Amino acid sequence: MLTPKRTKYRKSFRGSRAGMSMRGAEINFGEFGMKALSSGWVSSKQIEAARRTLTHYTKRGGRIWIRIFPDKPISKKPLETRMGGGKGDIAEYVAVVKPGRILFEMGAIPRETAQEAMRLAAAKLPVKVKFLSREEV
């Protein structure tokens, strides 16, 4: 799974997810991309599941770029614990995704293969996505 090597602060607030994504909203590396249409948190496990789906469907052909990184710690208190006692321990890391963000990019493969691979990978993610190609943009 993806986790940061080190962080400035161990725990963070939940934050807000209002607005569109300003950065990472264009295809920069590959020919095809997966663009987020809704906002949400994408965990490191979900990113890894989507990456494995893309790699498996393309039979390790072409290139894959992961454009998001889970750098936000999410804390969780144990089950059946009484209130109080401070903030819980870190359970996982998530990437904050806003509409317009490119999540994955692919290149050096045919369009049909990339489109089907991205469709299968989109089922593993908690946000709505759209398939893009460099020519359309």
Tell me the per-residue pLDDT of 87-104, one tens digit each, with 9 for 90 and over: 999 999 999 999 999 999
4 domain-assigned: no
For the chain, the domain total comes to 1
The long-range contacts involving 55-59, CB below 8 angstroms and separated by at least 24 positions, are 57/113, 57/116, 57/117, 57/120, 57/121, 58/106, 58/109, 58/113, 58/114, 58/117
Q: Which domain holds residue 47?
A: 32-75+88-133
pLDDT at 135: 85
16 domain-assigned: no
20 domain-assigned: no
β-bridge partners, 65: 105
Query: What's the pTM value of the predicted model, to 2 decimals?
Result: 0.95
81 domain-assigned: no
2 domain-assigned: no
pLDDT at 18: 92
8 domain-assigned: no
24 domain-assigned: no
Domain CATH number, residue 96: 3.90.1170.10
